[in-house]
Structure 1
Amino acid sequence: MASLVIRTGRADVAFDGIRTEFSLPSSFPPAALAEAESAVSRPVGDRQDLTSIPLVTIDPPGAKDLDQALCLERTASGFVVHYAIADLGAFVTPGGALDEEVRRRGQTVYLPDGNVPLHPTVLSEGAASLLPGVVRPAVLWTFTCSDEGVPTAVEVRRALVRSQAQFDYASVQKTFDEGNPHPSVAALAEFGPLRRALARARGAIELQLPEQEIESNGDGWKLVTRPRALVDSWNAEISLMTGMAAASIMLEAQVGILRTLPDPDASAVSALRKSAAALKVPWPADLSPGAFLADLDASTPEALALFTDATRLLRGAGYTAFSGSVPEVVTHAGVAAPYTHVTAPLRRLVDRFATEVCLAVTAGEDLPAWLSEALPQLPSLMGSSDSLSAKVERAALDLVEAWVLAGKVGQEFEAVVLRSGDNEAEVFIANPPVLAKCAGKRLPEGERIRVRLEEADPVERRVRFTAKT
């Protein structure tokens, strides 16, 4: 997709302003950094050597904080899936200075000119990252699955692993398109669609809204939307399967922490049905909201509007810690099953703790005291960091949108109306890819309209359009 490019010497300064505004840390405390550097040379303990498994990683281009590595095998009766996850438990001492700092941070915060990492880069981009060609401590999940892609046995253990290669989504997709995928991921083309079909049958809700990304382009920045490759969605299903398996382990043991999202409110589903009817998009009465959305052509303006309306179905997400009994709400409406986070411990705090719960439970051991004490604190820590990360991401997007459009005030653009109110609507402009507010009375959702840019203020990070009549 074409995009406009920003060339300005103020870029780094402006993003530094966002760092200051949200009090993002610029470095790690000396004691935490010293612990991380010391942990690099610390023995990882006895663990099974499984470096013979031909694991590979699939991540965005240039990524160094590699949380997951996978290997799929098609068998006579189904599939075997190996999924290795970076083992931060081998490096972070509970109660130490590094543990205290990562609890304060909660997660990696991403900005266009560099991230604010959860862990020091000596770990997140070095000793703990599943980089290719080097032996790493990992938590290895092994799934034995039926021909339908349903796990029939799950094993989780600490191991030594070695990734054979580091790939990105586009290059892996190209190998599938050309008919020569790497042997370690070739079965994804069969397994991924099976898992997606199971998700659809469960009623999982996936919103295929355009995702804005900010990219460097020499001495400037550009806004792009990147289509989601099939490989991306297939790979995501492996992570979801792992999170669902971890949740099942926790629920059976009646201890752990879940990522929860209440089922959609009946009024939200009713409102979405009304929107579909207004847009003349058929929705059979017996079709769940998730299945209805899954069948939409994401490239159409009607679908964009319905995906935007459907965001109201996914409100109230949080983390639920429990011990001794099962909480009232255990499912995640987006996944349509119990679910937890265990697959991104380099970038998200809760994953390390949830993984330790699964390891202890499956080994038949009691949770260590530090872990039991930490679980009730995690929902608040993760809630705060989720909120901060979302605000920083939105601020960066708002800033770059205003930069991109600053010299275009007065020009007209084609837009799709995503959501309409009495006097204002939310619109999406494809080129450059901008989500913005647009003044206008009850604009027609799901239709293409012409809009005029009235304001693009990088200082206030504000973009404003009006609808052309």
Structure 2
Amino acid sequence: MPRRHVQLHARPAQEPQEAAVDVLIRDGLGDLRRELDIPAQFPPDVLAEAAVVIARGPDGERSDATDVPFVTIDPEGSKDLDQALHIERQGPGFRVRYAIADVAAWVRPGGRIDGEVRERVETLYAPDGRTPLHPPELSEGVASLLPDQVTPALVWTIDLDAQGAPGHVTVVRASVRSRAQLTYVGAQAALDDGTADETLQLLREVGTLREAAERARGGITLPTPEQVVEQDSHGVWTLGSRATLPVEEWNAQISLLTGMCAAQLMLDGRIGIVRTLPAADPRDVERLRLSAHALGVPWPAGATPGDVIRELDAANPTHAALLTDATSLLRGAAYVAFDGEVPSAPLHAAIAAPYAHTTAPLRRLVDRFVGETCLALCAGEPVPTWVRDALPELPGLMAGGDKHAAEFERGCLDLVEAALLDGRVGEVFEGAIVDVREDHDLGVVQLRDPAVRGRIEGAGLPLGEDVRVRLTQASVRERKVVFELAEPQADAASSSTEPNLERR
């Protein structure tokens, strides 16, 4: 399940109170970075090597694909562009071309950049900016698929039939030139008003087919909104949520498709590294079914958890509560490397297929190695020694990097929530109870405004119901907010759900 990123849309503070919140957030982020040993900059020798490789130019021979009218689709302001897309019709089906930044063209195995990125593992996101995996001169410059720049890439060509199922798959080194840097908002607007070009129109068509295929496979996607920190027209800091646009989901389906093809290539070739997730424990599925029944959420006969989850709306309090419970189905994700013997359980249960990370090499370490493995397998050549030698250590590196990133992003969100509620202890807010830990008389409340999700203490917490809650603690230093029910429940016993559901 993807983590939620917090975006900070800031402008210069206009009022003293606004400036104070700004100071709290930025000072707190500095403390968090020091606590988690987040590097402030790249070492001089890493930057020196980056300057040398940029002056030298990219390594490797490649074909010329600059005639393909690729476009990128990313959030507003993105500079580290990993992926560029082109789709065309091919008979009754489609041909998807997906250009992925060729990071190996710039990063010398065993060099200073290579050593640094193995320490960093992945790009970290905070409200005030990114801590990049690679030096920005690479990740936001020559290695990024910026528009009107000739850039080295790994170009995947995936032929799909009329139902969107993949057939022939290849990946080669090529030079590409993106025609346009689109944003999700702009791309969705073009699709909605009928001005979208053929690639965007076919993205909608192919994305919809791939979503249907995901449903047929039994895949699970949790509709988790993105939390956004911003200042309103009056200069007041707010924390809100933003639902993903349809074009984001369709674009994500192309990335998933590529990752699934990469995993199958490596499994067939008996070498590589895949992302796995075990099937949900039947006891967790039964608990979720009991929760749905208690919350009044329909669970039709024969429906899978994915069928039910797909119909949920995170803005509905009862649905939000069930979505919180549903995270228990997605535990145990891991990276599994192999060389000669295929893993006994290679599936990713949420995707309901084998899957590998390969489409974000500017921002995630493992993708470079997967891309190089697939290149070699498609060409019928040996996998490079530097890739093969790294396979045993990659699962541990990625697991540690994922944990570090999750701690940092969780700390950022906790900090922002505490800073926005600083000085408001005693105030009453509208919200909904989205999780209850019955044996500890505590749970989680999701506020309406600001969109804070915080700890709530007290007996008889009514799961999935709208409530009024009082803020009892807001500590920026501890990055912690705590609430209590502002009004006693009329019948605590009847408000609770089925007993002993062991919610986590």
Taking the aligned partners of 2:450 and 2:271, their CA distance within structure 1 comes to 48
Taking the aligned partners of 1:66 and 1:216, their CA distance within structure 2 comes to 27
Taking the aligned partners of 1:59 and 1:139, their CA distance within structure 2 comes to 19
Cα separation, partners in 2 of 1:117 and 1:210, compared to 1, 3 Å: same
Report deviation, 1:43: 3.8
**Structure 1 residues 434-443 or 293-302, which shifts more?**
293-302
**Structure 1 residues 290-299 or 258-267, which shifts more?**
290-299
For 1:296, which of 312, 331, 339 is the aligned residue? 312
Tell me, which stretches of 5 or more residues in structure 2 are unaligned? 1-8, 11-16, 489-504
Taking the aligned partners of 2:40 and 2:231, their CA distance within structure 1 comes to 21
Aligned counterpart, 2:30? 16
1:86 and 1:345 in contact (8 A); partners too: yes
Report deviation, 1:188: 1.5
Report deviation, 1:42: 2.5
| Aligned 1:35-184 pairs, distance under 5 A | 35-44=49-58, 45-184=60-199
For 1:31, which of 37, 45, 54 is the aligned residue? 45
Aligned counterpart, 2:500? none
Q: Which amino acid letter does the alignment assign opposite residue 292 of structure 1?
A: V
1:250 and 1:357 in contact (8 A); partners too: yes
- Matched pairs, number: 467
Report deviation, 1:6: 4.7
Taking the aligned partners of 2:238 and 2:135, their CA distance within structure 1 comes to 28
2:473 and 2:480 in contact (8 A); partners too: yes
Say yes or no: does 1:7 pair with 2:23: no
Taking the aligned partners of 1:14 and 1:280, their CA distance within structure 2 comes to 41
Taking the aligned partners of 1:234 and 1:223, their CA distance within structure 2 comes to 27
| Aligned 1:219-238 pairs, distance under 5 A | 222-238=238-254
Taking the aligned partners of 2:210 and 2:52, their CA distance within structure 1 comes to 41
Report deviation, 1:371: 1.0
Aligned counterpart, 2:429? 413
Taking the aligned partners of 1:88 and 1:220, their CA distance within structure 2 comes to 41
Indicate the SS of the match to 1:454.
strand
| Aligned 1:361-440 pairs, distance under 5 A | 361-422=377-438, 423-440=441-458
Give a deviation string over 1:245-288, Cα, whole Å, max 9, x none. 00000100111001111000011000000001111222123111
Which 4+ runs in 1 deviate beyond 6 A?
216-220
1:201 and 1:291 in contact (8 A); partners too: no
Taking the aligned partners of 2:453 and 2:18, their CA distance within structure 1 comes to 17
Give a deviation string over 1:379-430, Cα, whole Å, max 9, x none. 1111111111111111111111011111322111111111111200111112
Aligned counterpart, 1:445? 463
Cα separation, partners in 2 of 1:325 and 1:216, compared to 1, 3 Å: farther
Report deviation, 1:244: 0.2
Give a deviation string over 1:411-459, Cα, whole Å, max 9, x none. 1111111111120011111211111111122422221111111111111
1:425 and 1:442 in contact (8 A); partners too: no
Report deviation, 1:31: 2.0
2:66 and 2:176 in contact (8 A); partners too: yes
1:420 and 1:442 in contact (8 A); partners too: no
Taking the aligned partners of 1:301 and 1:122, their CA distance within structure 2 comes to 45
Cα separation, partners in 2 of 1:221 and 1:104, compared to 1, 3 Å: farther
For 1:247, which of 263, 269, 282 is the aligned residue? 263
Taking the aligned partners of 1:416 and 1:203, their CA distance within structure 2 comes to 30
2:226 and 2:244 in contact (8 A); partners too: no
Q: Which amino acid letter does the alignment assign opposite residue 134 of structure 1?
A: Q
Cα separation, partners in 2 of 1:413 and 1:255, compared to 1, 3 Å: same
Taking the aligned partners of 1:428 and 1:333, their CA distance within structure 2 comes to 28
Q: Which amino acid letter does the alignment assign opposite residue 290 of structure 2?
A: K
Taking the aligned partners of 1:320 and 1:132, their CA distance within structure 2 comes to 35
Give a deviation string over 1:102-123, Cα, whole Å, max 9, x none. 0011001112222111000000
Report deviation, 1:100: 0.7
Taking the aligned partners of 2:74 and 2:229, their CA distance within structure 1 comes to 17
1:6 and 1:222 in contact (8 A); partners too: no
Report deviation, 1:224: 2.4
2:93 and 2:162 in contact (8 A); partners too: yes
**Structure 1 residues 304-313 or 25-34, which shifts more?**
25-34
Report deviation, 1:184: 2.5
Say yes or no: does 1:256 pair with 2:266: no
Report deviation, 1:10: 4.0
Give a deviation string over 1:53-112, Cα, whole Å, max 9, x none. 111111111010000010111333111111100010100001111111100110011122
| Aligned 1:273-284 pairs, distance under 5 A | 273-284=289-300
Cα separation, partners in 2 of 1:232 and 1:21, compared to 1, 3 Å: same
1:123 and 1:129 in contact (8 A); partners too: yes
Structure 1 vs Structure 2: percent identity of aligned residues?
49
Indicate the SS of the match to 1:41.
helix
Report deviation, 1:49: 0.5
Say yes or no: does 1:311 pair with 2:347: no
Tell me, which stretches of 5 or more residues in structure 1 are unaligned? none
Indicate the SS of the match to 1:37.
helix
Q: Which amino acid letter does the alignment assign opposite residue 89 of structure 1?
A: A
Say yes or no: does 1:326 pair with 2:348: no
Q: Which amino acid letter does the alignment assign opposite residue 450 of structure 1?
A: R
Cα separation, partners in 2 of 1:193 and 1:206, compared to 1, 3 Å: same
2:276 and 2:335 in contact (8 A); partners too: yes
Q: Which amino acid letter does the alignment assign opposite residue 15 of structure 1?
A: L
Taking the aligned partners of 2:236 and 2:335, their CA distance within structure 1 comes to 38
Report deviation, 1:337: 0.7
Taking the aligned partners of 2:236 and 2:79, their CA distance within structure 1 comes to 23
Indicate the SS of the match to 1:344.
coil
Q: Which amino acid letter does the alignment assign opposite residue 169 of structure 1?
A: Y
1:90 and 1:137 in contact (8 A); partners too: yes
Report deviation, 1:370: 1.3
Taking the aligned partners of 2:18 and 2:289, their CA distance within structure 1 comes to 41
For 2:478, which of 454, 460, 469 is the aligned residue? 460
Q: State the TM-score, normalizing by the size of structure 1.
A: 0.96
Indicate the SS of the match to 2:79.
coil
